[in-house]
A = this chain, B = another copy of it.
Amino acid sequence: MIAGSILVGAAEDNVAEKFVATDPSTGQAIGPEFSSASVDHVERACALADAAFASFSETTLAARAAFLEAIADGIAGLGDDLIARAMAESGLPRARLEGERGRTIGQLRMFAAFVRVGDWLHATIDPAQPERVPLPRPDLRRRHVALGPVAVFGASNFPLAFSVAGGDTASAFAAGCPVVVKGHPAHPGTGELVARAIKAAVTSCGLPEGVFSYLPGPSNALGAALVADPRIKAVGFTGSRGGGLALMQIAAARGEPIPVYAEMSSINPVILFPAALRDRAESIAEGFAQSLTMGAGQFCTNPGLLIAVGGADLDRFAAAAGAALSAIAPATMLTPGIHASFESGVGALEQHGATQLVARGAEGPGLCAARGALFITDADGFRADAALGHEVFGSSAVIVRCRDVEDVAALIAGLEGQLTATLQLDAEDEPLAAKLLPLIERKVGRILANGWPTGVEVCHAMVHGGPFPATSDGRSTSVGTLAIERFLRPVSYQNLPEGLLPAALKPGNPWGIARRVDGALVAGD
């Protein structure tokens, strides 16, 4: 059911101030009208979240996991209604959204399994040493606990996997944090469907209503009020650099500053090594054009920068990439605003004195339809204007022609923080890659070889993060089980009576989790 409501805990609210969803491929409004949440809703949602915290953060592992699985089941149960609505609101094709739904459900189930295992509690016991001299050692036990209520900002580019029940929400719930979602106004129907599935899971699992609230709305003031609320203890955000920086400022200016996990912008450099370029310029170019235009280029990990030593092989690559791009049909972007920004960014590159256009994607019909764009410049031109290193959200990329490998190294050293770096290399290139790797590693959260950065595996070893400004906090990832760490903090218990110890730390290990005792890992049941 899509009623256009605001969900504050168990309550539904509808207000006079409305906004509408738009089909980006037609520009037509899609009903119903949606109520715009206000600061009053922020106040109520945060009060409920705060009240729910003590109970929700101390559920058993089984109860927490069952909740995550109930959400997964609820989203699966929405069936094709969810896909149809998301297609209409986002312009994304069915296959892409079905895949994204699978990923969204999969990561909820992954966190359920991860919660059950309990490693994330970091249960650590240093037993008392009453005989130690000169002073006895007390009994010390540590676990990680939930930070508190978390504000999550849905992203437009993944209306399922990075939105209402996306990775931020899943990992915050897994940690034991109530969540208040600021719904993205570009997909309010999709958001409401998913929000209702979460609300139903809260009810069916017997959890306090404040575990989840959903506040849709188009205004920046709504999000600002949410981040400023003293009961909110952390923020998850995926979106623009400007948006992320604004939230960071609000969070830092609070009476109690809080962590903001903002995934903001990245141009995801691809380094084309000499032997690989010589041996397979054309096939690399084909793979690149596919990755660049996937999902209309609206991936955080879209490859927007290619770096190589200039010469005949790079010319071959550029020609092949241009040819491949020219054959790719345009794709509908998420919103008219995003489409306009893309066109403006591409237009600036077309006018830029230091860049030449290599190719545009094929023409085609449709509002918000974006044609890919590939440019080339040289390293000095790239360095001379920082704007050339800024993300143009969408399928736009720049090839940077370097003088030699030293110039490649210098270019990498001058980059801002990125989510990913891709190495296109052959065995022969490995000595050079080994030299560049320390430079690359300081700039990124993930390094991949002979693949493409679009496509982020949800698993234990994934890092979807990176140094500023790729994210606001390079110590974190927003994808994979490690994402739970963003919403935890350690607490130590010294000489506490057994009856007061949390289950994770009690003698006898009632939860059967792995614990570190005197520094050595003791396996769980």
B521 touches A514 (CB 8 A): yes
A461 touches B142 (CB 8 A): yes
Chain B contacts for A500, CB-based, 8 A: 430, 433-434, 437, 449
Which of A259, A446, A455, A459 has the largest number of chain B CB atoms within 10 A?
A459
Chain B contacts for A36, CB-based, 8 A: none
One complex includes copies of this chain to the number of 2
Give Cα distance in the complex from A126 to B456, angstroms: 13
Which of A117, A496, A518 has the largest number of chain B CB atoms within 10 A?
A496
User: Which residues 448-479 of A have a CB within 8 angstroms of B?
Assistant: 448-451, 455, 457, 459-463, 465, 467-469, 472-477
User: Which residues 220-261 of A have a CB within 8 angstroms of B?
Assistant: 248, 252, 256-257, 259
Fill in one digit per residue for A166-181: 1 if any B CB lies within 8 Å of its CB, else 0.
Answer: 0000000000000000
Complex partner residue of A461 from B145, B437, B492, CB under 8 angstroms: B492
A499 at the interface (CB under 8 A from B): yes
Fill in one digit per residue for A494-525: 1 if any B CB lies within 8 Å of its CB, else 0.
Answer: 11110110000000000000101011010100
User: Which residues 72-112 of A have a CB within 8 angstroms of B?
Assistant: 99
A489 at the interface (CB under 8 A from B): yes
CB distance from A439 to the nearest CB of B (A): 8
User: Which residues 409-462 of A have a CB within 8 angstroms of B?
Assistant: 417, 423, 425, 427, 430, 433-434, 437-439, 441-442, 444-451, 455, 457, 459-462
Give Cα distance in the complex from A410 to B451, angstroms: 57
Which of A141, A145, A460 has the largest number of chain B CB atoms within 10 A?
A460
B462 touches A488 (CB 8 A): no
A148 at the interface (CB under 8 A from B): yes
Q: In the complex, what residue of chain B is closest to A446 when comparing beta carbons?
A: B492
Which of A53, A472, A493 has the largest number of chain B CB atoms within 10 A?
A493
Chain B contacts for A298, CB-based, 8 A: none
CB distance from A62 to the nearest CB of B (A): 18
A1 at the interface (CB under 8 A from B): no
A497 touches B256 (CB 8 A): no
B497 touches A427 (CB 8 A): yes
Which of A53, A145, A492 has the largest number of chain B CB atoms within 10 A?
A492
CB distance from A246 to the nearest CB of B (A): 13
A125 at the interface (CB under 8 A from B): yes
CB distance from A112 to the nearest CB of B (A): 13
Give Cα distance in the complex from A467 to B457, angstroms: 33
Complex partner residue of A477 from B134, B148, B490, CB under 8 angstroms: B490
Give Cα distance in the complex from A225 to B476, angstroms: 27
Complex partner residue of A491 from B455, B463, B472, B518, CB under 8 angstroms: B463
6 contacts between A and B (CB under 8 A): A124-B460, A138-B448, A147-B474, A147-B475, A248-B252, A467-B489
